[in-house]
Structure 1
C-alpha cells in the first residue's frame, strides 16, 4: 500500500529535484502535514530544508492583517452592539444563547461570501425576490420563495412580526460587529476568509511569499476558499491534489462524491499521480463486529491488535505506525488507552483529551449543581443535601480530609438534613471555600479561582489527611487539568471585567462550560511512531494498512448533529451556505476515503438498545453490504451470562449464633420486641439479619415524611396532649378546648417534627410539603380527640409506657421482652391497652375491615394471608401489662388513624365465633391460650435445631431491606 501523501511527496521531490523550500503545501489538518514531512524525508534519504507546511486556515491568516478573535470576547461585543441598536433591556442571560448562534451564522455568511444585506433583508413583498436576487440560480430562488412564502405577515400575527423585526436588526448588527472588530484589528475566522477572498476578487492578493502553493487532500470548499484557490490558479502558482481514487468515492450514487466532479474540473492537478496498483482487492478484508458494550468495544480492539501482532500484520510492536484506531466517540479514549496491549509501545494520540471529560471538570459540574440548588430559608443560605453528598464523594474533596468528610456525610444522613446551613458544612479550608453562596457572576469567577488555587497548592497534595499519604497525591496529569481549568476561568473573568457586562451565576456557569467544551489538552509525544489513536477528522489525507474503527453506530458515525443556526434551511440553501447535505457528504467522504487503501478493516459497533440509542449499525455498513455487495465478515460478540437457580438461604444456629440469641435470655443485655417477633413470623431470615445480627441498611436522607416518621410525630403529639392529664380524669370540655386551640396544636406539631424528623435544637416553622403533612396530623389529632370525647369521663394513666420484663417459656429458659405501649387509660372500670396505627384497617380473610381474628393460633400462622399481626402485638402488650395491672380487666384496642373518619369509628378487637363477632372485653379470658402459642413461637426462635429460613410469601419480600441478599 502506497499512501496518497507519499505519492505526492515522491512526485514533487522528483519534479523539483528536491528544491522544495519555497513551495507551500496546504493540508486539511496539521497531522497530514507531519506525515507528509516524513514521506519527503523517506524519499530524499538525505537532509533537506523542509517546505512550509500549512493548514487552509493558516494560509488565509497569512494573507490577512487580522488576528484571530477570542469567541467569548466577541459574544460580549455582540451584546453591546445589540443593546445599542435595539434599545432593548434584554439581559445578557437571555441574549447569550441566540447571540452564540448569530456568531456561527455570521461566520458562515462570510465564509460563503453571501450578501449579508440581502440575506437578512426584511422581505415584505414576494415579487421583490425576482428584482433583488437576479444573480441567483432558479433552484436558489425557489428555495427562498418557499421560505418567505411561509413568513409573509398577511395576517400580521405577532410571532411573524417578531420574527421579521429580529431579521431587520440582523444586518445592522452584523455590520456593527465587523466594524468594532476591525477597530481592534481582530476578526473571526469567516471574516478573515472573506477579507482574503475579496482581495482575490479585486486582484489585490499580491506579494505571495511562495513559488507555488499546493493544496492536498481537501474536499468540501467554502465559497471564499474557492475564490482564493481560483485566483491562485489563475496566477499560475497553485496546484491541487484530490484523494478521489477510491471507486466508492467516485460512485455518483454515493454522497461522498458530492463535490468530486466540480473540484476535479475547476482545480486540476499539474502532475499525474494516478494509482494503478494494489488498490483493487483490498476491501475484501472487512470485518463487522457487534458488541453490547461501550467499553467492550475497546476490549475487542485490544484482541484485534493482539491478533495483528500474532499474524505479523503489525511487523514490530514498537513500530505500529501502520495501524490506526479511529474513535468517532471521544469518550472511549481513556477506555481505549487502558486496553492497548502492553507489547505495543509507544502510542500516539492525535485527538487530545477534552477538558470537559477530566476529573476537575467533574468537580466543577458538581459545584455548579450545588450552587444551582442553593435555597434561602429565613434569609439564610442552605445547600441541598443530594448535591452536597454527591460533591463530598468526589476524590478531590476526600483528599482534603477523609475523616472529616465521612463524619459530615454521616451527620447529614443520621439527622436527615434535607437542606444544610453553610455553617454546618465549613469543616475545613476547602469546604469553607466551596460552600459559599453566590449572588453574581463576578463572585462566581473569584469563587472558582479561589477553589482552583487552593487545589493547586503543594501542601494540599502532600498533606497527610489519610493514613496512606500516597492516596492524597494528585497525578501530574491531574495538576495539568487543574491548570487549564484555572486559566479558562481567569480568561472569562478578564473578558467580563473588560466589557463590564452583568450576568447571573447560571449564565456564567453555562458560558464557562461552553468554553471548557472547546478546550483539548494535547498529548505530547513522537507523532511519527507507534500506534495511532485518532478522531475521524484527524484521518483526512492519511492512510493506514490496518484500521480499527469503534462506535460504527448510526448517529455517531456519521455524527447526528443539528446545527444551531438562526438562518432556516431554505435560506441557507438559497444563498449557497452549508446545509445538512454538506455534512452528510463530508462524513461519507471521510469514511470511504479512509478505508480505501487499508488491507484489514475492523468496524465495531455497539448493539445495545438504551433510551434513544437503538444499537443500529452505521449507514455505511449497510451501504457496503447491500449497495456495493462487498464481501464482509460479520460476527456478534456476546457475554456468557449464566443465571443460576436461586438457592434457598438459611442460617444454622451455630455456637456463634446461639451466643447472640443468648443475649435475649435472662441475664442478657437485649430484649425482644413485638415488632421483632412479628418479623420472625413473617420471615425468620429477616429476623436473624435485623434483630440478631443487627444488620441495618445504609442511612439516607428522607425528603418526604415516611410512614414510620408520620406515625412517630402523631404519637408524640398525642403523648404531649395527654401527659397533662396523667393520673387524672379527662373531661369532654377539656378535650374540646384543646381541639379548638390551633396555636397550641401548631406548637406541639412543630415540636414533634423537630424531635422526630428535623432533629434540631429548636423547632422551626413548617413549610412546603411538611406543612401539608403537619395539617394532616392536625386533622388526625382533632379526630382522635373527638372520638375520645365520646368516652369521657375516663382516667388517663400514661403514654408511651416502656415495659421490660422477663418471660418464662420453659422451666429452664426465660426470655427478656420489651414494649412501648402507646396509651393506657381506664374507661368504665376497664384498663385499655391502646396501640396507634397510622394506616387503614387491613382486610381480614373474610374481606371485612373490622379488627377481627378467628383463633389465637392465626396470630402466629406464618402461612396465613393477611395475618392479624397488629392484634398479636397489642395482645403481647396486654400480656406484659397484666403483670402490673393488679388483676384489673384489660381491654386491648387499636386506633387505626385512617378509620378515625368513619361514621362509626371502631377500635375494639373481636373474636369471630361462627358468624358472630365477640368483643374482647377482658384479655384475661384469652391470656392463657395466647401465652401458650406465644411461648411456642419463642421456643421455635431459640430451638437450636430449627434454622432461620426465608419466608414462602414473596409479598413479604417486596419492601424488605434485605431483598438484594435473597435475590427474590
Structure 2
C-alpha cells in the first residue's frame, strides 16, 4: 500500500520542485509528523526540512492576529455586553456566559464563510419582529417581549464592538482571524512572491479557506492535492465526495486545470468485518481480543480509531500486555483524570458559601485518594473521626468541629479544605494553589512513582493560573458558583497530551486525527448513529432556513465531513474491523451507523456482519459453610455462659451465617449516619419514653388520673430520649420533625388504649418495666452450663392474669403470635420469630420462683396496630380460622417450648453440624 503522503512526495519529485523551499499546509499538525518521516525515507541526501504548518497556523500568519482562547473570549464578550446594556437590564456574568458561547460560535461561522454581517443580523431582527406581530395582537408589547426583540436588534452591535475590541489588541477568534487573513491576502502574496505552498488532504473548506487557496493557485504560488476516490466523486449521492464535487464544479482554477487527483483504491479487495457489541466497555474488551490476533509487524500498520473519544482510558486499561509500542495521538481529556474529583468536591463543598458542610461532602473530601496521604495515612484516626460522626449522627460539620474531632492535628490542611471561603473566588483560588503546593511537596518525596500524579497536578495548577489571570484582568467572576462553572468549562476543553514516538507501533487516535493518514489495518469503534455521524443538532441562534439562504453549514454538511473521514480511511486499508454498540441506553439508540448500512447496500465489498456478546459465566451463589473448629466451640461455650438472647437465637433461625459473623466473630452491623431517624431509633425512643412515664407506678394499680397525668410529660420525655439516642441529629425540621411527632402520637395512643381499658372496668397493675432475666437452661447432653438472657419491656397484671408484653414499633398482626406445630418455631423466622421471643421471656420468668404463676399470658403490643390491642400468644390445635386457641401459657406449653429450645441450642453446640448459610 502506498499512502497518500507518499503519492504526494512522488509527484513533487516528478515535478522537480525543491522540497526544502516549500511550505506544506495540512489539515492537522499530526499529519506533519508523518510527512516529515516520509520525506526522510524518500530522500537520497541530507536537506533542511521544509516548513510544515496546519491550516489554522497558516491563516494566523496571513492575518497578523493571534488566536484568543475560548475562555478569554467569553470575558471579552461580557465587557462588550456591559457596554451595550443598560445597568437595570444587565445579567450576571454567569448567566451571559451560558448563551454567549453559542452566539460567538455564530459570529465564527459568519466570518469564516465571509457573510456580510449586516445581511444576517438585519434579517434575523426582521424575522423576530414579523413573528411577534404575527403571533401577538397586543399593540403595546410587554417588557419581556421588548427585551426579547432588543436582544435580536443588539446582535450586530455585539458583533461590531467585539471585533473592534479584539482588533485593538491584535487578537481574534477563529472566524475573525480567517476574515482578516482574506483581507490581507493581496498584501501577503506581494510580500512573498517566491514562496510555494502545497495544500494536501483537504475536503470541507469554509469560504475564507477556499478564497485563500484559490487566490494562491491562481497566482501560481500553490499546488493542491486532493485525496478522493473516483467512486465517491462519480456518485452524486455519496456524501464522502460532497465537498470535493462542489469545489470541482465551482472553482475557476479547477475548470481551467485538470483535476488530477482521482484514484481507484477504494474498489480494491478489502476484508471488512462489522461487529455489534453490547455496551462500550465490551467494545473495548473486544478490541483487546482483536489485538492479540495481530503479529508485531501488523501492529505497526494498525490504527485504533475511537468514534467516542471518552473510551480512551478504558482502552488503555484493556490493551494486552504483550502489545509493545503504543502511540496515542489524541489527548486524554483532563476531566477524566482522578485528580478532577478532588477539586470538584472541594468547589462544590463551598459553593453555598456557608461555614457548615454536609457530612457526606466533607467525608468525600477527607477520603479522597490525594488528601489521605496528607493526613499521613492515619487510617485509624480518620476511621475514628468517621465513627464519631456516625455514632453521634452529626449531619453538618464545620472547621471547629473537625479540628476537635482530629484533636488539633492537621490544622493547616483542615483550614485549607474547610476554612470559611465566604463565597470569594479569590480565596477559593488561593486555597486551591496552597493545596496543590502541599500535594506537590508530598508527591516529590517519591518522584519516580508519582510522575503521572505530578503531571496531573501541573495541569491543574496551569488551569487555576489561567482562571486567576483572567479574573485579575476582567474581575467578572464574583462567586464560587461562577468560578466552578468556568472551571468546568475549561476542564471540558483541556487535554493531557501523551509523549511518545509518534511513528512507532500501534496508533490510537480520534477520527479528526486521521486526516491525510493511511493505515493498512483499522479498528474503528463506536460507529453508531449519533456518534459517527453526530446527526441532527442545531446549537445556533441562526435558523436553519437562514443558514441555507446564506450558504452556512448545517448538520448535513457536518455529517458529510465525517462521511469523508470514514470512507477516506477505508480507501487504502486492506483490513477493517468496524465495531458498534448494540445496547440501547439513555444517550445511545443502539443503532448502527448509516455508514455501515451504506457499506452493505453499495455492495462493492463483501461485509462480514456479526454480533458478539461477552462471555458471561453462570454465577451460582455458593452458600457458605463454616466448620465448628475448637476455637468456634470455645466461643459458643462463652456465649452459653454469657447467655443466649431471644434475638440471637431467632437470628440463628433466620440465617446461621449471621449468627456466626455477629456472635462468634463479633462483627458489628455497619451503622451509617442517620440523616432521617431509623426505625430502630424510633422504637428505642418510644420504649424508653414509656418506661420513663410508667416507672413511678411500678407495683401500683393504674388509675385514669395517673394516665392523664402522663400526657403533658410526653413531649419532654420524647425529646429527652431522642437527644440520648439520636444524639446530635436534628429533629426540628423536615422528615425528622414528622417522625418526632409520630413518636409522640404512638406514646399518646398507647396511653389512650390503657385509659379505655380502665374505663371499661378492667384492672391493670404494673409489676415490672424493662425487667432483665438470666435463667439457666438444663441440657443434660452438654457438659457446660447454658443460660438464657433477655429484657422484657413490661410485665403487668390484667384482671389477675400476669402478662408479658413486648413492644414492637413495626406492624404485627395476630397470626404472627400463633403456632400449630412446636417444631415450626425453629424453621420459619418470618412467621414464628415473635412467638419464639415471647415464649423465651415466659420460660425465663418461670425460672424465677417469686414470679412463677399459673395464670400467664405473653404477647405483643404493636404501635402500628394499636387498635388490635394486646396480641396474645396462642397454641392452635390445627391451622385455619376455626382452630381452638389456648392463650394461657401453662407448664405444658413451657415444657413443649423448652424441648424445641433445647434442640435448637444442641444444634448450635453440636461440633458435627456446620454453620450453613441460608438464602434470605
1:889-946, Cα deviation, whole Å (9 max, x unpaired): 544332110122x3x6344444556847767456657433333333333333334444
* Equivalent of residue 593 in structure 1, options 553, 568, 575: 568
Give the Å deviation of 1:825: 3.6
| SS of structure 2 residue aligned to 1:705 | coil
Aligned to 1:875: 839
Residues 195-253 of structure 1 deviation map (CA, whole Å, 9 limit, x = unaligned): 222345x8786423652222211111112222222333333323222111252465322
Does 1:197 find its partner at 2:182?
yes
Aligned equivalents of 2:349, 2:599: Cα separation in 1: 49
2:116 is aligned to 115
Alpha-carbon distance between aligned partners in 2 of 1:653 and 1:383, rounded to the nearest angstrom? 45
User: Which stretch of structure 1 is more off in the superposition, 299-308 or 37-46?
Assistant: 299-308
Q: Which deviates the most, 101-110 or 473-482? A: 473-482
User: Which residue is 2:736 aligned to?
Assistant: 770
Give the distance between the partners of 1:25 and 1:893, measured in 2 at CA: 93
2: CA distance, partners of 1:442 / 1:748: 49
2:390 corresponds to 1:422: no
Identify the residue that residue 61 of structure 1 maps to in structure 2.
Answer: 60
Structure 2 partner of 1:745: 714
Q: Structure 2 matches for 1:799-810, cutoff 5 A? A: 799-810=769-780
Aligned to 1:354: 333
Deviation at 1:276, TM superposition (A): 6.0
Equivalent residue for 1:552, pick from 498, 505, 527: 527
Query: Distance between the aligned counterparts of 1:120 and 1:712, measured in 2?
Result: 71
Quick check: 1:293–1:608 contact (8 Å CA) kept in 2?
yes
The equivalent residue for 2:294 is 308
Hey, what does 1:140 align to over in structure 2? none
**In structure 1, distance between residues paired with 2:643 and 2:347:** 49
Give the conservation status (yes or no) of the 8 Å contact 1:664–1:671: yes
How far 1:775 sits from its partner (Å)? Answer: 0.7
Q: Secondary structure at the match of 1:444?
A: helix
Instruction: Give the C-alpha shift of residue 49 in structure 1.
Output: 2.7
Summarize the Cα distance change of 1:905–1:295 in structure 2 as closer, same or farther, 3 Å threshold.
Answer: closer
**1:278-357 alignment, distance < 5 Å:** 279=265, 281-292=267-278, 294-309=280-295, 313=298, 320=300, 322-340=301-319, 345-357=324-336
Cα 1:249–1:444 shift into 2, 3 Å: farther
Q: How does 1:138-149 map onto structure 2 within 5 Å?
A: none
Report if the CA contact (8 A) 1:77-1:177 is conserved: yes
- Within the candidate set 230, 243, 250, 1:259 is matched to 243
Q: Distance in 2 between matches of 1:540 and 1:854?
A: 80
Pairing partner for 1:839 from 781, 800, 810: 810
Distance in 2, matches of 1:477 and 1:651, equals: 45
- Which moves more between the two structures, 355-364 or 117-126? 117-126
Q: Distance in 2 between matches of 1:375 and 1:655?
A: 59
TM-score by length of structure 2 reads: 0.89
State the SS of the aligned residue for 1:324.
strand
1:63 counterpart SS class: helix
Residue 615 of structure 2: aligned partner:
640
Gap change, CA 1:827 and 1:78, over 3 Å in 2 = same
Q: Say yes or no: does 1:238 pair with 2:212.
A: no
Within the candidate set 185, 207, 223, 2:170 is matched to: 185
* TM score, norm. by length of structure 1: 0.85
Kindly indicate whether the alpha-carbon contact (under 8 Å) linking 1:13 and 1:43 is maintained by their aligned counterparts in 2: no
**Which residue matches 2:822?**
857
Q: 1:174 is matched with which residue?
A: 159
Give 2:602's aligned residue: 627
Q: How far does residue 713 in structure 1 lie from its aligned partner after superposition?
A: 2.0
SS in 1 for 2:605: coil
Distance, in Å, in 1 between the alignment partners of 2:177 and 2:622 is 72
Contact 1:283-1:596 within 8 A present in 2 as well: no
Whether 2:804 is the aligned partner of 1:818: answer no
Gaps of 5+ in 1: 127-143, 315-319, 463-469, 845-850, 958-968
Quote the offset at 1:696 in angstroms. Answer: 4.5
Contact 2:325 2:504 in 1 (8 A): yes
Superposed displacement of residue 704, structure 1: 3.1
| Displacement of 1:164 | 2.7
The CA distance in 2 between the partners of 1:935 and 1:344, in whole Å, is 65
Q: Which residue of 1 aligns with 2:93?
A: 92
CA drift of 1:350 comes to: 1.6
**Residue pairs, 1:668-707, within 5 angstroms:** 668=641, 670-707=642-679
- 1:398 pairs with 372, 380, 386, which one? 372
Offset at 1:671? 2.3
SS in structure 2 opposite 1:236? coil
Distance, in Å, in 2 between the alignment partners of 1:161 and 1:823 is: 75
For residues 293-313 of structure 1, the C-alpha deviation after alignment (integer angstroms, 9 at most, x for no partner) is 534444443444443327x54
Shift of 1:259: 1.0
- C-alpha deviations, 1:820-864, integer Å up to 9, x for none? 2112344455443221111223362xxxxxx7525471661525x
Q: Which residue of 1 aligns with 2:695?
A: 723
- 1:840 and 1:873 map into 2 onto residues whose CA distance is 16
1-structure distance, mates of 2:837, 2:34 = 83
Indicate the larger mover: 709-718 or 414-423: 414-423
Does the aligned pair in 2 maintain the 1:196–1:205 contact within 8 Å? no
- RMSD of Structure 2 on Structure 1 (CA): 3.3
C-alpha distance after superposition, 1:323-364 (max 9, x if no partner) = 322122223323434444556543322212221111212322
Q: Relative to 1, partners in 2 of residues 1:264 and 1:214: Cα closer, same or farther, differing over 3 Å?
A: farther
Task: Return the alpha-carbon distance in structure 2 between the equivalents of residues 881 and 64 of structure 1.
Answer: 98
Distance 1:375 1:890 in 2: 63
Q: Which residue pairs with 1:605 in the alignment?
A: 580
Distance (Å, rounded) in 2 between the aligned partners of 1:55 and 1:811: 91
State the secondary structure of the residue aligned to 1:816.
strand
CA distance in 2, matches of 1:352, 1:517: 12
Structure 1 distance, partners of 2:714, 2:193, is 91
Match of 1:221 among 190, 205, 225: 205
More deviation in 103-112 or 332-341?
A: 332-341
**Matching of residue 12 in structure 1 with residue 12 in structure 2:** yes
Judging changes above 3 Å, is the alpha-carbon distance between structure 1 residues 344 and 867 closer, same or farther for their aligned structure 2 residues? closer
Residues 606 and 729 of structure 1: CA distance in aligned 2, closer, same or farther (over 3 Å): same
State whether residues 860 and 937 of structure 1, in contact with CA within 8 Å, keep that contact through their aligned partners in structure 2.
no
Structure with bigger helix share is: 2
Counting only pairs closer than 5 Å after superposition, residues 779-798 of structure 1 correspond to structure 2 as 779-790=745-756, 794-798=764-768
Shift of 1:41: 2.6
